[in-house]
Amino acid sequence: MKLQLPLLSVAAAVVLALTVTGCGGSAQAGDQPGGTANGQPEVKVLRYQGSANNVGLAELAQDLGYLGDIKLDWVGNTTSGPQDIQSAATNQTDFGGAFAGAVVKLEEAGAPVTAVVNYYGEDQKTFNGFYVKADSPIKAPRDLIGKKIAVNTLGAHSEAVINTYLTKNGLSQDEIKQVQLVVVPPNDTEEALRRGQVDVASLGGVLQDHAIAAGGLRSLFNDYELFGTFAGGQIVLRNDFIAKNPNTARIFTTAVAKAIKWETDTPRDEVIARFKKIIDARGRNESTANLQYWKSPGVPDNGVIKDEDFSRWATWLKTAGIVKGDLTPSKYYTNKFNELATGAFSTSTPSTASKGS
């Protein structure tokens, strides 16, 4: 049984990333910088972390044949986006995905990574909600002062959404600091709320739908109500990986984009059936029961990254001290490896020019 990788601090991740660049691992399979002349992948094995009872876009892309000769090597599971991209930055894995603000934080700390494709998002069907028990006295934003909110990790999507929600509703930063965020594993969050260990729970995906179906909870707010349809986070690759393996980067990124399109265009029952087949075949002693609640990929525009995917969080990023001065979204990402980007950008403004494109 493969073990989950340890959580690293951002500072440790940056030190390791700068130390291990150019050392071993799948990322070094490309012998010549710039790739092969025939467009074939320079490296054919990509290490990654998965998510229990779920099918990631890369896993779906492999099953659909979009990765071609490239194979995925599962090294364990993660429940934290920041940890996932730290693992990629330090060459423990070859790619990882996290909330846009966590990507900014890692890059601002000096980690040599670049976002290449959006991999999760929110829409009318798929969103992250914040729930209280049905009889909770919490009714309004100001009622959250002094209360505990369960989130899957700090410095990521839920924290940014909570801060934005409270800021938009007139709370000062001093008041916001009195709202306590408690890290709870996603699979335990619903139970923590029902037992009264926390006052509010952040729930998304099938875990949210399962909790709602069980009854006894009330929605306080959700991120779709705040922002409408939006991309929440990106998959990153190390810069040395990109330099040595540009064809692999292109094939991988485009495969993920194609997987998003497949999920978007394919009837829901067929998507769920495919997920079930993938989970059953990989033999990790997982449950497929929650797949019945899947609704949509939630990722707009085939994963194409836009400036607004980062600028949406500018206030929180500055308040948290992650960014000094004005935010420059284009320095964190590139769309040049996503072959589905051209059509998605046909109506975009010049501000979508991106890193390395």
Tell whether the torsion through CA atoms of 14, 230, 76 and 207 is positive or negative.
Answer: positive
> Same structural domain for residues 21 and 112?
yes
Q: Count the helices and strands in the chain (H runs, E runs).
A: 15, 10
Q: Is position 5 within any domain?
A: no
- Partnered with residue 47 across adjacent β-strands are 73
> Same structural domain for residues 181 and 239?
no
Q: Is position 2 within any domain?
A: no
Ramachandran sector of residue 356 (left: φ over 0; alpha: ψ -120 to 50; beta: rest): left
Q: Is position 86 within any domain?
A: yes
Q: Is position 1 within any domain?
A: no
What is each CA distance from 257 to 58, 189, 335, 341, 354, in whole angstroms? 9, 30, 11, 9, 17
pTM exceeds 0.75 for this model: yes
> Same structural domain for residues 141 and 85?
no
Q: What is the pLDDT of residues 58-96, one digit of tens each?
A: 999 999 999 999 999 999 998 788 899 999 999 999 999
Query: What per-residue confidence (pLDDT) applies to 349?
Result: 34
> Same structural domain for residues 239 and 221?
no
Q: Give dist(CA 84, CA 77) in Å, integer.
A: 9
Residue showing tokens 């029952």: 269
> Same structural domain for residues 104 and 212?
no
Q: Is position 88 within any domain?
A: yes
Q: Is position 301 within any domain?
A: yes
Residue that terminates a domain, selected from 227, 261, 294: 227
Instruction: Provide the number of structural domains found in the chain.
Output: 2
> Same structural domain for residues 133 and 214?
yes
Query: In tens digits, what is the pLDDT along the chain, a chain of 357 residues?
Result: 333 333 344 444 444 433 333 333 344 444 344 455 578 999 999 999 998 888 999 999 999 999 999 999 999 998 788 899 999 999 999 999 999 999 999 999 999 999 999 999 888 888 889 999 999 999 999 999 999 999 988 888 899 999 999 999 999 999 999 999 999 988 899 999 999 999 999 998 778 888 999 999 999 999 899 898 899 999 999 999 999 999 999 999 999 999 999 999 999 999 999 999 999 999 999 999 888 888 888 899 999 999 999 999 999 999 889 998 889 999 999 999 999 996 533 333 333 344 644
Q: Which domain holds residue 144?
A: 128-227
Residue that terminates a domain, selected from 227, 259, 292: 227
| Tokens matching residue 304 | 């194409």
Q: What is the pLDDT of residues 152-175, one digit of tens each?
A: 888 888 999 999 999 999 999 999
Q: Is position 4 within any domain?
A: no
> Same structural domain for residues 138 and 90?
no
> Same structural domain for residues 18 and 76?
yes
Q: Is position 327 within any domain?
A: yes
Q: Give dist(CA 55, CA 61) in Å, integer.
A: 10
> Same structural domain for residues 206 and 254?
no
Whether 307 and 351 have beta carbons less than 8 Å apart is answered as: yes
Q: Give dist(CA 168, CA 161) in Å, integer.
A: 10
**What do you get for the CA distance between the two ends of the chain, in Å?**
40
User: Which residues are CB-neighbours of 37 under 8 A, at least 6 positions away?
Assistant: none
Residue that terminates a domain, selected from 197, 227, 257: 227
> Same structural domain for residues 217 and 236?
no
Query: What per-residue confidence (pLDDT) applies to 194?
Result: 97
> Same structural domain for residues 38 and 64?
yes
Ramachandran sector of residue 283 (left: φ over 0; alpha: ψ -120 to 50; beta: rest): left
> Same structural domain for residues 343 and 235?
yes
Q: Give dist(CA 58, CA 196) in Å, integer.
A: 37
Which CATH number fits the domain that encloses residue 292?
A: 3.40.190.10
- Partnered with residue 253 across adjacent β-strands are none
